[in-house]
Chains A and B, each alone.
Chain A
């Protein structure tokens, strides 16, 4: 599976839009992208998943350019409660590759 690279940390003020970019230069044709969110003292939870172009749900948007070598998680108008670690993962659609490994993630701090 493709290796992913994310910024280790980011700061943002409340009310701003936050974009977290994940690089996955070696992504394969069958790979999809998943983002998880982990609040302090909790287990991660699934946020959003996509293969190409744009996906939006009630929590976030995921932008994937045509070459799919990166993806950007967009959080609109963040609040203090969005302070969390965000993980980007790449998985294979066709096989159930079970060895799911998380990277260090991006620690987002929202400042009042």
Chain B
């Protein structure tokens, strides 16, 4: 049981390049999330998916697109990377807990855009 996995772990892009960050979970969770975290800052929600086939914008969706490929996988795409997108990107999934809900996070992808 690997939990939430993210690839790649590190990536350096030049301005204008595109890339896709991959996320997969093996816990059969319905909801999945993409957050970004800038140095010394809190997490900001980019996009989320409440279930397979649905996606919704979070707090900072501009410059990103997502795909919920199936229940396991939720990818984040940067079409034309900008230096302002330099950040650590975390993927998460969520399950029903005893009282409410509980999120599980991946190890993160550290992205630098030059």
A complexed with B: yes
State the A residues within 8 Å of B (CB).
Answer: 32, 34, 36, 41-46, 49-51, 85, 87, 91-93, 96, 98-105
Count of A-B contacts judged by CB separation below 8 Å: 73
Q: Select from chain A the residue with minimum beta-carbon distance to B97.
A: A49
Instruction: List chain B residues, Cβ under 8 A from A98.
Output: 31, 48, 50, 56, 94
What is the CB-to-nearest-CB distance from A72 to chain B, in angstroms, rounded to a whole number?
Answer: 17
Segment touching A, from B11-19, B62-70, B79-87, B105-113: B105-113
Given contacts A42-B108, A43-B107, A96-B50, contact A101 B45 (CB under 8 A): yes
Interfacial chain B residues near A92, Cβ < 8 Å: 100
Known: A99-B56, A100-B48. 6 other contacts (CB 8 A): A34-B101, A41-B108, A43-B90, A45-B105, A96-B31, A98-B31
Contacting pair B107 A104 (CB below 8 A)? no
* Min CB gap A60→B, angstroms: 15
- Chain A residues contacting B44 (CB-CB under 8 Å) are 102
The 8 closest A-B pairs by CB, nearest first: A43-B105, A104-B42, A102-B43, A98-B50, A32-B100, A91-B100, A46-B102, A43-B90
Which residue of the partner chain A has the closest CB to B3? A43
Which residues in B have their C-beta under 8 angstroms from that of A93? Answer: 99-100
In the assembled complex, which residues on chain A have CB atoms less than 8 Å from the CB atom of B101? 34, 91, 96, 100
